[in-house]
Each structure stands twice: as C-alpha cells, then as structure tokens.
Amino acid sequence: MCDSVVALGDITADGRVLFAKNSDRVPADECQPLVHHPRRRHPSGEALRCQYIEIPQVSETAALIGSRPYWLWGFEHGLNEHGVAIGNHTVFARDPVSDVGLMGMDLVRLGLERGRSAREAVEVMTHLIERHGQGGSGFVDTHWPYHNSFLVADRGQAYVLETSDRHWAVRRVDETASVSNHLGIGSDWDEISSDAVAHACAQGWWRTEAEGRFDFATAFRDQNYPAFISSGRQRRTRELVTARRGQVTAATMRAILRDHYGEGLVPRADHDPEDERSYAVCQHAPGIGCTTASTVVRLGRDDELSVYWGSFGSPCLGVFLPYYVDAPLPPVLAKGGAVATPDSPWWRFYELARSVAEEPSERTPIVRAAWDAFEARVEVERLEVEARAGREGPAPLAAFMQTNVDAMMSELESLIANPRST
C-alpha cells in the first residue's frame, strides 16, 4: 500500500512542481535505507541484473537518490539528476502475474536511471513492461507478485501510468493527481498499449461495440479486492492538496503524508478492517501496510536545484531532511538490513516508534514538536546553502547534508533515551 500526490506549478505557491509519496510496506520492520548512485557509463553489450531477471544495460545511467527496501535492487521512490521523480504503488488487476519479471521497484529505478524527462521515463518504463513483463514477489517474507501503477513527474509535467501485466495506460496530469492502490484511469487515458483493448475483449472484460471509449480501469481492475482500502486515502490526499490550490508548499505535502484523516497526531489505536478510516495516508495497519519511508520533492526550474526531503519510518514521528542528487549523501543513510543495528538511521527511527507506542498520547506530541522545530531550523539554513552551491559547486551541499544528519542522529538518540523530554 502506497500513496503519492503531485501538484504542478499552476497550483503551487512558487510555481514549482511538488511530488510526495509514502511507501507502505509489509512487514512494518522492513528497513528502507536511502542511497545515492552517481552518473555512470557502461560498456556496450553489458547485462544488467535487476531483482529477478537480466536485461540489456544502456550506455549511461543518471545520478539519483532512491529509497530502497534493504533486500531489493529497485526503489520505492526516487529523484534523478534531470529533475525526474517517480514512485510506485501496488494495484490489483485481472491478468495473472508471473513469478519472474520486472518488479515495480525495478521499474522505478530503471525509469530514473534512463529518463531525462517524465515523458522519456514513461516511454522507458512502458517499453520495458511490454518487453519483459512484470513479476516476482515484492515481499521479503511471502511470495506475492503484483501489478503496479506509477506517478512520474518532472519540472513541468506529470503522468500517471497504470498496468496489468504487460498492458498499460497513461494519463497526463492536469494541475494535480493522487494515486493509491487501485486502477483509476478510465476512458480518460491519453495513451494505451497497442493490444490492451484486444486483450480485454478476448478475455470477455470489454465489449467494444456496446461500451463506448475503452475504459482501462473497468476492463482490468480486479473487483475481488475491496476498493475502500485505497479509495478513501486517494480521496483524502486529493482533498488536502486541492484545498490549498495556489498555496501548496513542501510543508503542505509533508502534512499530507502525516495525515490520519484529520484525527490528530496520534493514529487510532483500534483497527477495523471494514472501515476505510483505519487505512490513513500515514499508514498504521500491521498486516496490510505501515509507512516505512517518505519523500517530498521540489522540482526546481531550469538550472535550479531540485530538493529531495526524505524521512525514515512513520512520517508522523519522523523528520524530513533536504537531500540533493548533486552531491554524495552521508553514507550512514544507506546503512540497515534485516536486523536492527545501532548505526542505521532507519532502525533507530523504528526504535523511537516502539518507544512512543508505549505512551502514544503523551509521547507523540513531544516528539512531533521536537522534529517540527528541527525542520524549521534546517529550512532557515537551506536557502542560503543552496545559493552558495550555485556559486561554489556541490561542496556546501555535502557539508550541509552531513551536518543535518549528524544533528538528526543526536536528537534521535535523545528522544529514544527520554521520549518525555522537550
């Protein structure tokens, strides 16, 4: 379970595109480090090993930042040097999914490595979907391959891409879009795979002569999975971003990712599987999905820096720090595996969440206030550092990120040791 939202420059406060995503994973203790890959050149004819299959490598791959479940090759979401941001989501479609193929996380990383624009990334991904298909389990503890949807954005435009195995539909975004865990592109698609209609008709999912323009979601959506698990979250993110039309900022996006249906900082303790409000944007539904990493991305115009704000674990208890593709990330951000270790930021935020859960009503506001103040301090410095980087190159960015991460780790240990402290 995942949620993404994009606001194009027409409705943001400063005219820059804003992208945001929560990665909801099972199990809740699946570590998700943050990694940086520089631009690379590759020998002709080189093969690329993704999670489950090999595909041909391209001559050059872009520099990028990606949020990677520790055991996977691909990313849940990320940003590349060309100002392209991508996130994926599980969707439930009628076609069977192979045990071997490209995973949604593979496709996120491949789109980032190979796309110089949102349009180009979509073309890369749809070509790979048609050629190799989707497949392979996306879960470390169980075998369950699944179909995917994607939100792809750059400095000027964004696209929703939805799939059912090798079949796909694309819709260009007008002002804003929210994406969750169900197929939502109906007859409003802008592009569609060449065989999608014929395939749906052959399966008896669509009758061209009786039903008008082809409706991708009606034909391919698997109705066996309850819509309310994701439809409420999608409606909520759309409402929150459109309510701020013309005033949407990165802070707006952070608040959306931390939302519990407007019920406050503390998520509801009881979980009713039949109630859509048990599945909030900031997800706390063990066995279904818990938010394990989040991002807000501001896609700068022309030569402006793009900013990737990343948060570990549940965003309601986390801190969004600014990161940049233009300089190497602090190495500690990439630490973390299957077992908790004291040097992994992700695992330390997991430990903080466990501590807060002992007294959620008392401890959550204290932790949230501490991180809000921390984010505010960093934001005051961010604009000055970015201006310096424009004059001096990436060195100030690297130093800024390292200072922030060091301070974050210190604050994190203080909050774990004494979560009642202000």
Contact predicate 17/103, CB 8 Å: no
Q: Which residues, other chains included, contact 155 with Cβ-Cβ below 8 Å and sequence gap of 6+? A: 16, 17, 83, 299, 300, 301, 302, 306
120 found inside a domain:
yes
28 found inside a domain:
yes
Would you state the pLDDT for residue 422?
A: 54
8-state DSSP, 316: G
Would you state the pLDDT for residue 302?
A: 86
Taking the C-alpha atoms of residue 121 and residue 331, their distance in angstroms, rounded to an integer, is 27
Would you state the pLDDT for residue 273?
A: 82
Active site residues: 2
323 found inside a domain:
yes
* Structure-token pair, residue 231: 């439809």
Q: Strand pairing partners for 298?
A: 18, 307
Taking the C-alpha atoms of residue 248 and residue 251, their distance in angstroms, rounded to an integer, is 8
Taking the C-alpha atoms of residue 219 and residue 95, their distance in angstroms, rounded to an integer, is 11
Would you state the pLDDT for residue 219?
A: 96
Taking the C-alpha atoms of residue 338 and residue 343, their distance in angstroms, rounded to an integer, is 13
Would you state the pLDDT for residue 421?
A: 64
Place of tokens 């989501």: 89
8-state DSSP, 85: E
Taking the C-alpha atoms of residue 253 and residue 297, their distance in angstroms, rounded to an integer, is 9
How many domains, in total, are found in the chain? Answer: 1
Q: Give the predicted TM-score (pTM) of the model.
A: 0.97
16 found inside a domain:
yes
Place of tokens 């608040």: 255
| CA atoms lying within 13 Å on the CB side of residue 320 | 26
421 found inside a domain:
no
Nearest partner of 190 among 177, 181, 205, judged by Cα: 177
Would you state the pLDDT for residue 217?
A: 96
Q: What separation, in Å, do the N-terminal and C-terminal C-alpha atoms of the chain show?
A: 33
* Structure-token pair, residue 205: 């999912």
Taking the C-alpha atoms of residue 95 and residue 199, their distance in angstroms, rounded to an integer, is 10
pLDDT tens over the chain, length 422 residues: 899 999 999 999 999 999 999 999 999 999 999 999 999 999 999 999 999 999 999 999 999 999 999 999 999 999 999 999 999 999 999 999 999 999 999 999 999 999 999 999 999 999 999 999 999 999 998 999 999 999 999 999 999 999 999 999 999 999 999 999 999 999 999 999 999 999 999 999 999 777 789 999 999 999 888 777 899 999 999 999 999 999 999 999 999 999 999 999 999 888 888 888 889 999 998 878 899 999 999 999 988 999 999 999 999 999 999 999 999 999 999 999 999 999 999 999 999 999 999 999 999 999 999 999 999 999 999 999 999 999 999 999 999 999 999 999 999 999 999 877 65
Domain residues for the domain of 158 are: 2-335
Question: 10 Å Cβ neighbour count for 59?
Answer: 10
404 found inside a domain:
no
Would you state the pLDDT for residue 73?
A: 98
258 found inside a domain:
yes
Place of tokens 């595996």: 337
Domain of 13, CATH number, reads 3.60.60.10
